[in-house]
């Protein structure tokens, strides 16, 4: 028991803050309006994994996202239907074992194509104000967040 308390105390002192990840359903229940950052990714995308393990592990980015934004990590190939802005988006098959979620397509399509990872920022009216269809390194992403907030 003492060992567990020591670990908890140590991790809190080291500042290991965790990024709060919301769902679209949770967003509809929140009262405070904030910009929304959506990270569109897939399980097979190596650049998505890099971004997850660098950019979204960065202490400054975690603080900024938790304090000023709502963050959603969204798997573009998930099969669960999602209601957003009074519309239900579904998974659509594009082949035998492939497909894309309609919401990922709606949010992440840039110049008629979708790439992974794609980072999307919505304003308080849930309008797209930023789309970036490539890996964002921590320094670059922090600059984006500072401009938007």
Instruction: State pLDDT tens for residues 74-100.
Output: 999 999 999 999 999 999 998 888 999
For 97-120, the pLDDT digits (tens) are: 899 999 999 999 999 999 999 999
CATH of domain 31-148: 3.40.30.10
Contact 100, 78 (CB under 8 A): no
Report pLDDT for 28. Answer: 86
Task: Provide CB contacts within 8 A for 80, sequence distance 6+.
Answer: 91
Structure tokens at 35: 């910009």
Mean pLDDT of the chain: 90
Q: What is the mean pLDDT of residues 50-75?
A: 97
Q: Where are the domains of the chain?
A: 31-148
Transcribe 49-117 into DSSP letters: HHHHHTGGG-HHHHHHHHHH-EEEEEETT--S-EEETTEEE-EEE-SSS-EEEHHHHHHH-BTTB--SS
Q: What is the pTM of this model?
A: 0.87
Report pLDDT for 64. Answer: 97
Of the CA atoms within 13 Å of residue 112, those in its CB half-sphere come to 0
Contact 40, 134 (CB under 8 A): no
- pLDDT band for position 15 (cuts 50, 70, 90): low
Share of the chain above pLDDT 70, in %: 89
CA–CA dist 78, 41 (Å, integer) = 10
Contact 122, 36 (CB under 8 A): yes
Q: What is the mean pLDDT of residues 26-48?
A: 95
Report pLDDT for 4. Answer: 46
């Amino acid at each position: 028991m003492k060992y567990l308390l020591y670990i908890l105390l140590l991790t809190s002192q080291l500042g290991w803050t965790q990024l709060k990840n919301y769902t679209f359903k949770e967003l509809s229940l929140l009262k405070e309006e904030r910009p929304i950052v959506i990270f569109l990714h897939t399980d097979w995308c190596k650049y998505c994994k890099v971004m997850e393990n660098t950019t979204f592990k960065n202490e400054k980015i975690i603080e900024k996202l938790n304090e000023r934004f709502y963050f959603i990590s969204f798997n573009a190939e998930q099969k669960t239907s999602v209601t957003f802005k009074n519309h239900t988006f579904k998974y659509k098959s594009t082949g035998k074992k492939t497909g894309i979620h309609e919401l990922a397509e709606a949010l992440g399509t840039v110049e008629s194509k979708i790439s992974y990872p794609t980072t999307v920022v919505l304003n308080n009216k849930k309008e797209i104000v930023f789309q970036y269809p490539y890996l964002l390194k921590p320094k670059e992403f922090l600059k984006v967040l500072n401009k938007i907030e």
